[in-house]
Structure 1
Amino acid sequence: MRYAYAITTALALSGAAAVMTLEHPAGAQTAQNEPGAIQASAPRNGAPMSFADMVAKLQPAVVNISTTQRITVPQQQNPFQGTPFEQFFGNRGGGGGARTQEAQSLGSGFIISNDGYIVTNNHVVSAGTQGATVESITVTLPDRREFTAKLVGRDAASDLAVLKIQGTNFPFVHFGDSRQARVGDWVVAIGNPFGLSGTVSAGIVSAVNRVGIGPYDRFIQTDASINRGNSGGPMFDLQGNVIGINSQILSPTGGNVGIGFAIPAEQAKPIVDTLMKGETVTRGYLGIGIQPVTDDIAGALGTNKGKGEIVSRVEPGQPGERAGLRQGDIVTALNGQEITPEQTLTYLIARQKPGARVTLDVLRDGRRQQLSATVGTRPTEEEMQALTGRGFDPDAEEGAPNAPDSTSATLGLAVQPLTPQIARSLGLDPSVRGVVVAAVDPNSDAATKGLRRGTVITRVNTTPVASAADITRAVQAARAAGRTQVLLYVNVRGNSAFVGVDIDPRR
């Protein structure tokens, strides 16, 4: 049987001092971390603190989770097919069809109610391989009791899932307030790395509000030991409250390098509560595409880097368009909260309830204004892909632009008007107006920024362009304003974005 361990966080603590005392014995009907049950006292003259009492109280509520998966594996073509040996060896070499095999994944979780609700990571209980299906989920308690778990609900975007096992009087723990966590605070993690049940580690909070790979990821970072199988396990503060769910690691080797991430309880608990009710998690949505204000974009627009986000796309009929947002607007705040690389507009809007009214601070053509929007409901990931996914090959010969009609030497580009025929060949709506790049000076900043033959340019510094002359005028206006860059709105392979490009000072 093949084992595929979930790679994620096992947060740990390394020693500082304090003494843990227990006011109440563990009781089946009382939360393992009932307020007042666990207290921390001052450390004794620098002696290392023991977590033994705390762990003894909490460990019974931390479980091992394993899934049995059925994986479809394509078979190789029979190497003897068509040869005199085929009748002797039959399909031993594979007949080009498919076969199934069983695999397991291991992770961690923790019980949050005495009737057996369990929190873990979605990826712990999801099929980890394309073509795989999860056939069963088994929960093993520290006392070696095993239960077949029911998947109550999951939310892939937050990587959270809720399970249920049948029974009563289970040990359980409480969520705490992760907003109180500070860099340098001690934390304790309990989990099952590599299937080794009941492993305890300790460390400190290394950072808070750490941005991950997803739009909704804001992690607590820790220097605790992180290894495979700790995914979904709890991270406790010194009062025994769950302030994080161990979820990811950052490692070039796949093992612990002291950088692990946990989903903060502040974010996890509302989602867990929703899943426990059998409901679907909803997130706010404006229907716009956004980009960070990078050095290039800030230089082209004469604004400050990192202050707000620029609107690169406005979906027709969506809340952003109804609110009056336009392509090229820079959104600087939502309900008075500043938009930053850590607090992005997508993240803040997603936390709004659909139907809520929000106020957007917008910078448009150098002037500040406020817009009011009614938040919509974010489509599913599949629906999002359907909204945005049209691809094309700009290097294809058929219909691609040939010799340019004119050039924009100041940017190192040769361009020609975008005709309906060219637009169709590039996978765009024939009504799109702009210019298409026919050649790029390999020594230009435009080439460095990724512009190439087939790139479509529709705006320069928010001004629509339809010819090389339009681009030249926009560049001259930027120079007159003392700027060394222009902001191009481009479409590459069906995806639109703003790109800041240097003006060649020699031309």
Structure 2
Amino acid sequence: MRLYGPTLRAARIALETEDGKRAEVVFPGLVVSPTGMVMVAVSDELMSYPRGYFRTFELIRPGEDGRPEPARLIATNDLFNLLFVEPQPPAASQPFVAFNDAVEVPDAAQPLICIGLLDRSLGYRPTFEIGRVGAAIGSDEFTISGLPTDATGTLLLSADGRVVGVSRPSTLTTPEDFLADIGPSGGGFIVQPRGTRASAVAPAVEFAVRERCDRPEPWIGVAGLQVAPAEVCEAFGLERDIVAIIVGATVDNYPAAKAGIRAKDFIIGFDGSPLRRGATEDETLTLWTRSVRQKRVGDEAVVDIWRDRKRQAFTLQLTESPLSDTKAPRAFNAVLGLAVRDLVFRDRFERRLDPSVRGVVVAHLVQSGPAETAELREGDVVQRIDERSITDVGSFRRIVEEKLAEKPSDLVFSVLRGRSQQVILRVELHAGRGDGP
């Protein structure tokens, strides 16, 4: 196991929200390229944060008294909850782990070797532990039993030393808990043999190392999905215990609509396999999303549909998913006490906004700040400030800066609320704070 020891890192991430809340978290990482790029498995909460919250990155080598090495974020992978971080400057020739020989996770109770890091209080020392594939969590996550609670796992190997997966930190309950925490201190060892098994992670790692950017996420262009209850399946001629997802809507000019899939169709299979049932409806929908995202943009896929009491197969070509709100450009203004972001596809589709609608979405309000006091709401679309049109985050920054330079006592916001409600709000500025954004 000497090969893997030099590839371990601790990644220290400094977070800061728009209104100044700060936190520092540490996650284990694994070197995956000769330049020293580190793959870091992180929690769901961290991946749900806007990318602008990630302020600084540092990498810590085990056994060097926690001395940090400056780093920067190269890419993210939302499907596998991975960040790819590279030291600055990049290394010249760094030992790394290749996933080319990745194999499937062994069956339950089979032994695993966990190559990880002890927590910060113990100096991030390497640990080599023997564990076993344990009890299932939900439908596609498994615990790793027999490991000490003060070790945070990173790399999981089969008994013969081949890569079988990457452990994932246990999930925290709320973003507030996440900000209050100092990062995972051990326990919560999870491997996902079907959702994020090593053979599926390998292409994601290869893409990040080669392209040095986020891997495009594939999409078929359906929305408003719901898991069909057993009685509904039975009423439409399906077996009660089948997993079926009802299509709420298809998006024009995207693969599903082009292939002929319609609203109210039942999705019952994908690429020759039936859908899998999760412990909850949300988990079932997550499993569906994962099955799509494990393919690549441009791949062909076959979606099995139940319509008119018959199974029909639709072949389509996956396209790139639209920009998400977490990756949309954002801006924060301390004087106004609000953060805004660009409109994204999901805003327009779910609210049925006309393509001509322009503006920025209120993403965050500082408690008791001028914007919240004026009764702006998260989700409002700011379209004008003092009759000057706002088209995107760039124009918002420029116009607010110019208006505040005039030291006004208030600003008038014209916002779109919901789908069509136009609201005019007067934002009164605190005395002495009109000196800049």
Same fold (TM over 0.5): yes
User: What's 1:205 paired with?
Assistant: 133
Does 1:188 pair with 2:131? no
Cα distance, 1:366 vs structure 2: 0.9
User: What's 1:326 paired with?
Assistant: 262
Q: Aligned equivalents of 1:224 and 1:308: distance in 2? A: 37
Structure 1 residues 38-57: aligned runs within 5 Å: 54=1, 56-57=2-3
Does 1:112 pair with 2:32? yes
Contact 2:103 2:162 in 1 (8 A): no
Does 1:385 pair with 2:361? no
Q: Aligned equivalents of 2:26 and 2:36: distance in 1? A: 19
User: What's 2:221 paired with?
Assistant: 287
Does 1:155 pair with 2:101? no
Aligned AA (2:233): A
Does 1:355 pair with 2:301? no
Cα distance, 1:108 vs structure 2: 0.9
SS for the counterpart of 1:248 is coil
Contact 1:284 1:353 in 2 (8 A): yes
Does 1:260 pair with 2:190? yes
> What is the aligned counterpart of 1:168 among 54, 76, 92?
92
Q: Aligned equivalents of 1:356 and 1:131: distance in 2? A: 28
User: What's 2:161 paired with?
Assistant: 240
Cα distance, 1:66 vs structure 2: 1.4
User: What's 1:467 paired with?
Assistant: none
SS for the counterpart of 2:207 is helix
Cα distance, 1:164 vs structure 2: 1.8
Which shows bigger deviation, 374-383 or 222-231? 222-231
SS for the counterpart of 1:270 is helix
Q: Aligned equivalents of 2:49 and 2:302: distance in 1? A: 43
User: What's 2:376 paired with?
Assistant: none
Distance 1:286 1:125, change over 3 A: closer
SS for the counterpart of 1:249 is coil
SS for the counterpart of 2:25 is strand
Q: Aligned equivalents of 1:389 and 1:307: distance in 2? A: 25
Q: Aligned equivalents of 1:57 and 1:119: distance in 2? A: 17
Contact 2:76 2:213 in 1 (8 A): no
Distance 1:250 1:275, change over 3 A: closer
Identical aligned pairs, as a percentage?
Answer: 16
Contact 1:271 1:281 in 2 (8 A): yes
User: What's 1:476 paired with?
Assistant: none
User: What's 1:179 paired with?
Assistant: 104
Rg comparison, structure with higher value = 1
Contact 2:74 2:213 in 1 (8 A): no
Contact 2:119 2:186 in 1 (8 A): no
Cα distance, 1:378 vs structure 2: 1.5
Q: Aligned equivalents of 1:106 and 1:388: distance in 2? A: 37
Aligned AA (1:280): D
Aligned AA (1:371): F
Distance 1:339 1:293, change over 3 A: same
User: What's 1:417 paired with?
Assistant: none
Cα distance, 1:160 vs structure 2: 0.8
Q: Aligned equivalents of 2:49 and 2:102: distance in 1? A: 35
Contact 1:208 1:221 in 2 (8 A): yes
Contact 1:236 1:244 in 2 (8 A): yes
User: What's 1:84 paired with?
Assistant: none
User: What's 2:314 paired with?
Assistant: 371
Distance 1:138 1:347, change over 3 A: closer
Does 1:317 pair with 2:253? yes
> What is the aligned counterpart of 2:273 among 327, 337, 344?
337
Aligned AA (1:260): I
Q: Aligned equivalents of 2:51 and 2:38: distance in 1? A: 27
User: What's 1:408 paired with?
Assistant: none
Cα distance, 1:109 vs structure 2: 0.6
Aligned AA (2:301): V
Aligned AA (2:347): A
Cα distance, 1:384 vs structure 2: 4.9
Aligned AA (1:272): V
Contact 2:79 2:293 in 1 (8 A): no
Contact 2:151 2:187 in 1 (8 A): no
Q: Aligned equivalents of 1:258 and 1:248: distance in 2? A: 6
Q: Aligned equivalents of 1:259 and 1:126: distance in 2? A: 17
Aligned AA (1:330): F
Contact 2:117 2:127 in 1 (8 A): yes
Contact 1:250 1:260 in 2 (8 A): no
Q: Aligned equivalents of 2:39 and 2:51: distance in 1? A: 25
Distance 1:317 1:278, change over 3 A: same
SS for the counterpart of 1:179 is coil
- TM-score when normalising by structure 2: 0.59
Aligned AA (1:118): V
SS for the counterpart of 2:98 is coil
Distance 1:329 1:66, change over 3 A: same
Cα deviation code 1:164-183 (max 9, x no counterpart): 22333433323242425322
Aligned AA (2:158): D
Cα distance, 1:322 vs structure 2: 1.6
Gap regions ≥5 residues in structure 2: 178-183, 279-283, 326-343, 353-417, 420-437
- TM-score when normalising by structure 1: 0.52
Instruction: State the superposition RMSD in angstroms.
Output: 3.8
Q: Aligned equivalents of 1:388 and 1:131: distance in 2? A: 23
Q: Aligned equivalents of 2:316 and 2:137: distance in 1? A: 26
SS for the counterpart of 1:369 is strand
Aligned AA (1:297): V
User: What's 2:360 paired with?
Assistant: none
Distance 1:307 1:106, change over 3 A: closer
Distance 1:332 1:65, change over 3 A: same
Aligned AA (2:112): V
Distance 1:251 1:117, change over 3 A: closer
Distance 1:65 1:229, change over 3 A: farther
Distance 1:112 1:241, change over 3 A: farther
User: What's 2:387 paired with?
Assistant: none
Contact 1:68 1:103 in 2 (8 A): yes
Contact 1:182 1:208 in 2 (8 A): no
User: What's 2:388 paired with?
Assistant: none
- How many residue pairs match? The answer is 306
Contact 1:69 1:133 in 2 (8 A): yes
